[in-house]
Amino acid sequence: MNTADLGLPVAVPSTALFTDQYELTMLQAALRSGNADRRSVFEVFTRRLPEGRRYGVVAGTGRVLDAVENFRFDGTILGFLRERGILDEPTLEWLADYRFRGDIWGYPEGEVYFPGSPVMRVEGTFAEAVLLETVILSILNHDSAVAAAASRMSVAAGDRPLMEMGARRTHELAAVAAARSAYVGGFHTTSDLAAGFRYNIPTVGTSAHAFTLLHDTERDAFTAQVDTLGRGTTLLVDTFDVTEAVRLAVEVAGPELGAVRIDSGDLLLVAHRVRQQLDELGAVNTKIVVTSDLDEYAIASLAAAPVDAYGVGTQLVTGSGHPTCSMVYKLVARATSDDPDAPLRPVAKKSLGGKSSVGGRKWAARRPDENGVAEAEVVGTGEVPAELADHQLLVPLVTGGKVVAREPLDAARDRHIAARAGLPLSATQLSRGEPVLPTEYR
């Protein structure tokens, strides 16, 4: 079963109103001026990475493809626009038949990016391409922010598994997207069942403090859980006294106890004490899972601790302090007339305050050094230099309005691991620094 194709509560029947009003009013004015059919090129990029970050992670591409396919103006939506007096009748009639029939190129999901990287390129008439700005940015900015945080946490965790547990810390639909992005960035499982259902991400979860508090004694709670879920379950041991809880846990489940979870206190100190106690009780194979408002720095600080897995919530789903990537969607080229064969002309606004952009339809390539390690992100217009032809980054995502790049989520996850491994070693440092690769313009 391909759950991504199901009409689920975590999806919507149309994405057409996931936009800002000025996209539609621009459309109306362009139709009236006669310029709506000019061939146009829009690009998604960011002018800078979040402060101190060394690379970004592209995530949400698959969700963008779904959104483009579902960008339809049905009778209910058109009725809303008509009732509000937002658009005139000719524009509403035009929207009734709207389908994106252009091309979209982009960095494949899971790839890394840098300031100026043309993460996505949308080509079509001005009318059909301008409408997609907000929904594309909404998805890429959120999902890439979460994936970047997940990637940093994955580096900090090393070989230890990471569990995404942030559903209760964000909007219920954002939680599903966050779990998906976390998986792309290197997490292994999620507690969110909607994400598991829709994207086939492995799910985990056992019990909370409320389950222990429900019972008359902690022993009763542990016994009930082990009887129901088996000796391999994970018991939460910090509701009352950790030392006594660990003793009870092993007494109830035996040395075959799967894991204990610690959700509060000095995790470094408590983890060492719990490991020693478990070993003394003969539960040498029982693992230790830690949670409690972790971020990449807290995870790194536990590298020497006897911890086997981490559960992360708030900091993950909020981008670990950077909930957006500040990506923008800018017109970089447009035809000189509405003739389909008219040449493209580079365009760019002139702006002060660091909001300038570079005109022209761009390609991007990552130049390796003699050891095969990336040394620069090269962005240019015109012909791609021969020496960079085999290192281009953009791939076709939509061709003639048809999606051509759907792939399993594991492919994006594997791609990210490979892309990150191809960067200089300093990319994985958690200390603040500049982007690990310079962006060169040709």
> In order of start, what are the domains of the chain with their CATH numbers?
3-131+327-441 (3.20.140.10), 146-321 (3.20.20.70)
Full-model pTM: 0.95
| Predicted pLDDT of residue 32 | 97
pLDDT at 1: 42
The residue with tokens 């006669």 is: 34
Rounded CA-CA distance 180/196 in Å is 9
Alpha helices in 292-362 (DSSP H): 296-301, 314-317
Residues in the chain: 442
Considering only CA atoms, give the Rg of the chain: 25
CA-closest candidate to residue 63, choices 209, 174, 214, 222:
174
**Whose CA is closest to 238, among 251, 248, 228, 223?**
248
Q: Which residue has the tokens 């810390």?
A: 169
Nearest to 36 by CA among 134, 133, 135, 130: 130
Tell how far CA 427 is from the center of its chain. 19
Per-residue model confidence as pLDDT tens for the chain (442 residues): 444 444 444 455 799 999 999 999 999 999 999 999 999 999 999 999 999 899 999 999 999 999 999 999 999 999 999 999 999 999 999 999 999 999 999 999 999 999 999 999 999 999 999 999 999 999 999 999 999 999 999 999 999 999 999 999 999 999 999 999 999 999 999 999 999 999 999 999 999 999 999 999 999 999 999 999 999 999 999 999 999 999 999 999 999 999 999 999 999 999 999 999 999 999 999 999 999 999 999 999 999 999 999 999 999 999 999 999 999 999 999 999 989 889 999 999 887 667 778 999 999 999 999 999 999 999 999 999 999 999 999 999 999 999 999 999 999 999 999 999 999 999 999 998 999 999 999 9
Question: What's the CA gap between 74 and 127, in Å, rounded?
Answer: 18
d(CA 194, CA 67): 18
DSSP state of 428: G
Cβ pair 409, 180 in contact under 8 A? yes
CA of residue 44 relative to chain centroid, distance: 15
Q: What is the pLDDT of residue 305?
A: 97
Alpha-carbon distance of 124 to 107, in angstroms, equals: 18
3-state DSSP assignment of residue 48? coil
User: What is the Cα 180 distance to its own chain's centre?
Assistant: 7
**Cβ atoms of residues 37 and 127 within 8 Å:** yes
- Termini Cα distance of the chain: 46
Q: Which of 106, 199, 150, 113 is nearest to 377 (CA)?
A: 113
Q: How many CB atoms lie within 10 A of CB 16?
A: 21
Element of type H or E holding 152: helix 133-157
Residues 380 and 441 sit within 8 Å (Cβ to Cβ): yes
Can you name the residues that pair with 112 across neighbouring β-strands?
Answer: 57
Q: Identify the pLDDT of residue 353.
A: 67
d(CA 248, CA 245): 5
* Burial of residue 70, with CB atoms counted within 10 A of its CB: 0-12 exposed, 13-18 middle, 19 or more buried: middle
What whole-number distance in Å separates Cα of residue 388 and Cα of residue 274?
54
Assigned token pair, 298? 């807290």
Contact in structure between 279 and 306 (CB atoms under 8 Å): no
The strands making up 362-368's β-sheet, listed across from edge to edge, are 362-368, 374-381, 439-441
Question: Do residues 202 and 189 touch, judged by C-beta distance below 8 A?
Answer: yes
> Which residues neighbour 2 within 8 Å (Cβ) at sequence distance 6 or greater?
none
